[in-house]
Amino acid sequence: MQRFGKTALVFLTFVIGLAVAGGIDADGSCWHRDFGFGSTVCVCNSTFCNALPAVTAAASGSALVYTSSKAGLRFQRQELQFKQAGNGGGQILTVDRKTTFQKIHGFGGAFTDAAGEMILSLPEAAQDLLLRSYFSADGLEYNMGRLPIGGSDFSNRQYSYDDDNGEDTTLEHFSLQKEDRIYKIPMAKRAKELMPETSGDLHIYSTVWSPPVWMKTSNKFSGFGFLKKEHYQTYADYYVKFLEAYAAEGVDIHAVSTGNEPLNGVVPFKHFNSLGWTPETMHVWIRDHFGPTIRGSKFKDVKIVAHDDQRIFLPWMMELVLADNKTADYIDIIAYHWYLNFITPGALLDAVHKDYPDKPLINTEACNGDKPWDFTRVQLGSWTRGEYYLGDIVGVMNHWTAGWIDWNLALNLQGGPTWAKNWVDAPIIVDASKGEFYLNPTFYALAHVSKFVRRDSVRVELHHSGGGLLEAKVDSIAFERPDGALVVVLINKHNSEHSVSIQEGDRGQVDVHVPARSFVTVIYW
């Protein structure tokens, strides 16, 4: 289905023109464009953007199957029938709803200054279609977001909420900036308006990259530097000031973290806004200042998030930071970033869950194009990058992760704007000169989970059998939704197609064709 930005007649003329040009699917689901990175993007503009229609219940005895592939399928829907269980001749996945794991919080992306600037660079109708693509019932149905407190590396400048006023220890001059009023606040409000009732509330996670420089030992936003001890309480109060300011603007914050990537302020791998902490100083600040200040304010129900740094530093970092029950009791959630996941085992997440089973694990940042060997930061149509995303989501959620938040909602063709020249890729890339934006394969990778796995879904066990001993396997994960629907997500990273049979008790078996290099989601009630 399509979303209309002008009259149906104009839209029909536009679609006919595209069909003649040979770039649009016969069902109008995607206007393909190939940029030479292995697959295609779907092109959107003011008059056209392919929708992902709301998923409605299949008939009894049926399963709905959605497929996207490197070869060009984009969310293709088909309905299959269950049959008597038997040997499907391939990989067999047996659903066990009685064996359950973590409850899912949701999926989302970041309301950065860069994303706001790129969205506003489009014509008004295209702006709305872009946000709909993420948050509406005919989009990814995101229900989470991440919002920087002050500037980040994906701003056009370095800033905080109390600059150029000397040591303002009472925070008398604290003030939101133009970026909040032009970009972040309007984005968050519009996203919330677009969300269907089934998505629940918009859970916004906020954190500071760097406090005002007068609070820091370095007197700089970036590089090696720590919080001055005399400003431990001032910094805790700074968070409350932010919560008050956003509440006054009608934006509720669900959670605040102890700071973005604190180890980058100790060992500056990349030169951007940061605040360094050692485990001991972080422990003291949470225990004696941050925790009591948040819990003693009118925002006492706001969740407090620890770590917000690379997975490779878990679990030993948490063992040091949460060294006593008082400090641990202030922490509600443990967050991590994906950038070094490729060299760290998922078992680290299992260990953290074992030590802190009452604290959900949330991935709060991810993007492609960040590595030194990524010479082309933005790769429009890269299927491999989509595989990285879905492969990571399936992998970490099989190790107790309860939510997954992407980085920038949108960037430009260079992978910015970013004052730090820290260019990266994003699921949606904007070409302001053409009034277009492009849905990357990473967008569809996210769609195959976020659109189906609602908040409070529970991961359930999948037992694996069948297939040849040396046969490459399709990665998988399963969830039971609050409405009773069962969701199975499959990712085939191989250059050969596979057959996967999903079996569950008296329902029997449904046989699913999984094309080469594809994402497949199966849902049934």
What residues are annotated to the active site? Answer: 261, 365
Stated as kind and residue range, the H or E segment containing 284 is helix 279-285
DSSP type of residue 24: B
- The 3 state secondary structure assigned to 411-467 is EECCCCCCCCCCCCCCCEEEECCCCEEEECHHHHHHHHHHCCCCCCCEEEEEEEEEC
Interatomic CA distance for residues 353 and 360, integer angstroms: 8
Which helix (H) or strand (E) segment is 241 a member of?
helix 232-248
Residue 339 exposure: Cα atoms within 13 Å on the Cβ side: 19
The end-to-end CA distance of the chain, in Å, is 23
Q: How many CB atoms lie within 10 A of CB 523?
A: 21
What counts of helices (H) and strands (E) characterise the chain? Answer: 13, 22
Q: Which residue has the tokens 């997954």?
A: 404
CB contact at 8 A, 381 and 514: no
Q: Are strands 518-524 and 62-69 parallel, antiparallel or unpaired?
A: antiparallel
CB distance 290 to 276 below 8 Å: no
Q: What is the C-alpha separation between 434 and 44, in angstroms, rounded?
A: 10
DSSP conformation letters of 94-144: EEEEEEEEEEP-EEEEE--HHHHHHHHTS-HHHHHHHHHHHHSTTTT---E
Round to whole Å and give the CA distance between 154 and 152: 5
DSSP helix/strand/coil, 73: coil
**CB-CB contact of 379 with 369 (8 Å):** yes
In angstroms, rounded to a whole number, what is the distance separating the alpha carbons of residues 519 and 525? 21
Give the HSE-up count for residue 300: Cα atoms under 13 Å, Cβ half-sphere. 5
